[in-house]
Amino acid sequence: MSEPLVIPCPHCNGLNRIPAERLGDSPKCGRCKSAVILAKPFDLGQGAYASQIKGDLPLLVDVWAEWCGPCKSFAPIFQQAATQLSGRCRLAKLDSEANQQLAGQLGIRSIPSLILFRNGREVARQSGAFPLPQLVAWLTSQGI
Ligand SMILES: [Zn+2]
């Protein structure tokens, strides 16, 4: 048996301990009973940020805005990446308009911006939209 992974629930921010070999079994949150592992991006806001960047499963955040054309065309690619990387990386979308304070705190200068967090720390960042194979290749180079 391996050490369980600590994974925040995308719904209630509760921390779950899940053995790596159970990640594919649709594990449920111990607190709110919702699915902990999603195959799609979830919305990240100021209140959930500190909880969601924690844990053993990396978190990739797409910083976007409603008025941004490239952000909109990147959305389906980000969605596909979430499906492809389910169980290996968690994907979240941060609306920079609705969360201006957090976007400022993260030093966002252009959107879309992608920020990768692992164990509560930023480990990599990219600006601009790119095709799915390139996105996956970048994440692979980060050990995902
Ligand atoms: Zn929960």
Number of independent structural domains in the chain: 1
User: Does any domain span residue 124?
Assistant: yes
Q: Which residues surround ligand 1, an ion (CB under 5 A)?
A: 9, 11-12, 14, 29, 31-32
pLDDT bin (cut points 50, 70, 90) of residue 133 is very high
The CA–CA distances, whole Å, from 86 to 36, 41, 61, 135 equal 11, 10, 14, 14
How much of the chain exceeds pLDDT 90, in percent?
A: 97
pLDDT bin (cut points 50, 70, 90) of residue 72 is very high
User: Does any domain span residue 32?
Assistant: no
Q: What mean pLDDT do residues 64-73 have?
A: 96
Q: Which residue out of 9, 12, 32, 68 is catalytically annotated?
A: 68
User: Does any domain span residue 31?
Assistant: no
User: Does any domain span residue 5?
Assistant: no
- The CA distance from 69 to 137, in Å, is 24
User: Does any domain span residue 106?
Assistant: yes
pLDDT bin (cut points 50, 70, 90) of residue 3 is confident
Contacts of 69 (CB under 8 A, 6+ apart): none
User: Does any domain span residue 6?
Assistant: no
Domain that residue 52 falls in: 39-141
Contacts of 79 (CB under 8 A, 6+ apart): 40, 41
Cα of 15 from ligand 1 centre, angstroms: 8
User: Does any domain span residue 27?
Assistant: no
pLDDT recorded at residue 1:
60
Q: Which residue out of 9, 29, 71, 89 is catalytically annotated?
A: 71
Dump the DSSP string for 59-79: EEEEEE-TT-HHHHHHHHHHH
How much of the chain exceeds pLDDT 70, in percent?
A: 99
Cα of 64 from ligand 1 centre, angstroms: 25
pLDDT one-digit tens code per residue, 15-54: 999 999 999 999 999 999 999 999 999 999 999 999 999 9
pLDDT one-digit tens code per residue, 96-125: 999 999 999 999 999 999 999 999 999 999
Residue 27 bridge partners (DSSP)? none
Record the pTM. 0.96
71 an active-site residue? Answer: yes
User: Does any domain span residue 104?
Assistant: yes
Which CATH number characterizes residue 112's domain? 3.40.30.10
